[in-house]
């Protein structure tokens, strides 16, 4: 499973999203099983990946399993219970 966070380095909501996912993946002892990646939309690589996944709003958070999108949040930080349900199958 992979969590992709699309944002900008100067975006406080984007930074808070990344911190929140890092915190809960560590708390739930899932950091080794769920990959967390941040894509900076101010870079060519980040913008390319964001364009491929139609993830140009900040922040956009996508959860993928085996390359298939299973959850998406745009312009907001999801509540921990929203993504926690998805991750419980990984514990």
What are the extents of the domains in the chain?
A: 2-81
pLDDT in tens, 39-77: 999 999 999 999 999 999 999 999 999 999 999 999 999
The pLDDT assigned to 88 comes to 79
The three-state secondary structure class of 87 is helix
Exposure string over 6-36, b if 16+ CB within 10 A, otherwise e: bbbeeeeebbebbebbeebbeebebeeebee
Read off the pLDDT of each residue in 2-15 and give the average, rounded to a whole number: 96
Class of domain 2-81: alpha beta
pLDDT in tens, 18-44: 999 999 999 999 999 999 999 999 999
The pLDDT assigned to 39 comes to 98
pTM as predicted: 0.94
């Amino acid at each position: 499973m992979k969590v992709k966070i699309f944002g900008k380095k100067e975006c406080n909501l984007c930074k808070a999203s990344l911190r929140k996912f890092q915190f809960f993946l560590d708390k739930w002892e899932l950091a080794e099983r769920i990959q967390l990646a941040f894509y900076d939309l101010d870079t060519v690589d980040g913008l390319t990946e964001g364009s491929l996944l139609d993830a140009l709003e900040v922040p956009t958070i996508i959860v993928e399993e085996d390359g298939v999108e299973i959850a998406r949040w745009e312009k907001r930080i999801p509540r921990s219970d929203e993504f926690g349900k998805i991750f419980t199958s990984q514990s």
